[in-house]
Chain A
């Protein structure tokens, strides 16, 4: 399983659900939460600056958020932080029905996958099988 996943969503209920679902699915050891793009960037900055800081293996990113949306976060992330965490996977998790969002996600070179909400255990199981994440889950290695 993954070591650390950062969930970025402005909705605290969603963050809570993610937390439980990721744990139930044995997806990762630890879940960190950020209530928006700016909080997430701040968290990453802290981790980099701390001597024992631990950066996430994956970020579950919502698109529609106030102050800084998912795309804006991604822009700054790529610019400032990606170099520190080149192996980190970006997974868009959104209830957006705007087809442009899905299209953008598919085209974006730094987005690993696109998951429509609601987040389900089946959805997470499927996510484990994508090539970029497969190696983290022992039973798929063989």
Chain B
């Protein structure tokens, strides 16, 4: 200590006292520098530029008396050790001084070099330690305050919050002042209140001194709920026993974990209870995993299948194709395999369709995922369907052929009859009765011819998918038909009103349209009401993407209540009068269908019938 060049400040206004003190100081610290200040102001100002190892302070100064000098001086030099000098023995003042932070006090008259040396040495050492303690304290405080982990201290009995750090205020969104007004219980949701006693009961049992309290649901100041994991530690706040709570917000972790659990559960239920067969293979096609559905469908147990090569179970006729598809997985992440047969545990071949995904590089899978479906039933049904269609197509072709031959064989003799009738009329019939029979015979032959012709027309429509379409003028077609039927029309004095102005043209088939008009007109004439003159109105209307053709008469009408479903049926007749063969409306409907149109009817017995034909454009 003697060797050091101590820098000593002496604050003493009394010249005599200073000289004595200075002599003592040089005696014990010959190399020391002693700087005298005669007022508190002088002393305080010196600290602006200088540093001192110790201050010897007289408490009776011209500008300050008593402990005030100590406080004032510590304000500017908190770390410097101070020894107080008093002129008298004032115990109370001495104790107060020590409380304020001076290191020692000496009574002037009692000062001798030995005491001074001891006091100064102790004071300097003590201050150093105090400063270290203070700095450590501050470090700890800063460690607490600036810690990113939310921390608070609380009273173990009342659970009152005593100290909080910054992170804690950020967690709860309360200010520090607000939190210091609260207890731990105030932060809890109502559901947690019942087990709050576990926090009170927490006592240190573990060696580390920490007690995990588990996860708690708590409220933030904005009312949102959070889950906080709390660990408490014994803690001394000065002399006070309290507990430190270390907090961890696990809300997001828990939510993420929950979502993960749900997602995994969902995935499992999808894989295990779905209808699809899910397997995971290694790069060579050996089973790493199989879903329970594989056991259900193919009968193989997990023990049998795991490690087994999938290609061993595939039918030899498809194995090359399956291997080729499998090979594609080297360049494609997903491949739809063409259907192949797999041997089941009962020895049957089952048709399987697979979508295979290469997830070898996916760390959570590290395999080739096969998603397969049992097609056996479907395939069987399809095969049956194909066979049925083939049979039906053959039957249909046969029937068509049969119909053509039949109609030809029927037509051949009829054409002969027609020719003979012609020859007969040239030959001339002398006898009246023979003429009568001849007329009847001719009428029946013509009727037979008409029926056969209509049937043949239907056959032609049904067998001919492609019909020629052209732009057709409705007026010209209609005139052609009225021309052909002019005798009939004038016979019954029919009034025919035609207005095709709204849609004069139609892309259609002329032969079909002629047949349609022919049938509608002859029907209207055949089934006219003889009580009144026949009036026929026909007109067109443009619809949305279609053209409507109306054909209206004031004839006998059809009882739609009784006949609605069969009106366009084959061999249906609705009147006792007339000589219909029951084919006309069926023929019209077939022709309209072939022209991509529809026909509907509105009729009332006694007032007439309206046919509405809709041609889609």
Q: Which residues from chain A sit less than 8 Å from chain B, CB to CB?
A: 11, 13-14, 17, 20-21, 24, 64, 95-99, 117-121
User: Please, how many residues of chain B have a CB less than 8 angstroms from a CB on the other chain?
Assistant: 21
Most chain A beta carbons < 10 A, residue from B412, B413, B459, B464: B412
Q: Which 3 A-B pairs have the closest CB atoms?
A: A117-B415, A118-B415, A118-B418
Once the chains bind, are B411 and A17 in contact (CB under 8 Å)? no
Interface of A is mostly: loop
The answer, yes or no, to whether B456 is at the interface (CB within 8 Å) is yes
Q: Specify which of A96, A98, A99, A120 is in contact with B419 (CB 8 Å cutoff).
A: A120
Q: Give the distance in Å from the alpha carbon of A13 to the alpha carbon of B416 in the complex.
A: 7
Q: Contacts A97-B459, A97-B460 given: A117-B412 contact, CB under 8 Å?
A: yes
Across-interface contacts of A120 in B (CB, < 8 A): 418-419, 422
Could you tell me if B423 and A21 are in contact, using CB atoms closer than 8 angstroms?
yes
B404 and A97 form a contact (CB under 8 A): yes
Least CB distance from B478 to A in Å reads 25
The 8 A CB mask of B417-447 against A (1 = contact, 0 = none) is: 1111011001000000000000000000000
Least Cβ distance of A116 to chain B in Å? 8
Binary interface encoding of chain B residues 266-283 relative to chain A, with 1 for a CB under 8 A from any of its CBs, else 0:
000000000000000000
Q: Which residues of B contact A95 (CB under 8 A)?
A: 408, 411-412, 414-415
Query: Given A97-B404, A99-B464, A117-B415, 18 other A-B contacts at CB below 8 A?
Result: A14-B412, A14-B415, A17-B423, A21-B419, A64-B405, A64-B408, A95-B412, A97-B407, A97-B411, A98-B404, A118-B415, A118-B416, A118-B417, A118-B422, A119-B419, A120-B419, A120-B422, A121-B422
Residue pair A97, B412 in contact (C-beta under 8 Å): no
What is the interface of chain B, defined by CB distance below 8 A to chain A?
Answer: 404-405, 407-408, 411-420, 422-423, 426, 456, 459-460, 464
Q: Are A97 and B408 in contact (CB under 8 A)?
A: yes
- List residues of chain B with CB within 8 A of the CB of A118: 414-419, 422
Q: Are A11 and B416 in contact (CB-based, < 8 A)?
A: yes
Query: In the complex, which residues of chain B have a beta carbon less than 8 angstroms from the beta carbon of A17?
Result: 416, 419-420, 423
Q: Which residues of B contact A20 (CB under 8 A)?
A: 423
Which chain A residue has the least Cβ–Cβ distance from B449? Answer: A118
Q: Do B423 and A117 touch across chains, with their CB atoms under 8 A apart?
A: no
**Of B405, B412, B417, the contact of A11 (CB 8 Å cutoff):** B412
A60 to chain B, nearest CB (A): 13
Q: Cβ of B414: which chain A residues have Cβ within 8 Å of it?
A: 95, 118
In the complex, which residues of chain B have a beta carbon less than 8 angstroms from the beta carbon of A11? 412, 416
B residues in contact with A64, CB < 8 Å: 405, 408, 412
Of A13, A95, A96, A120, the most chain B CB neighbours within 10 A belong to A95
In the assembled complex, the CB of B356 is this many whole angstroms from the nearest CB of chain A, namely: 51
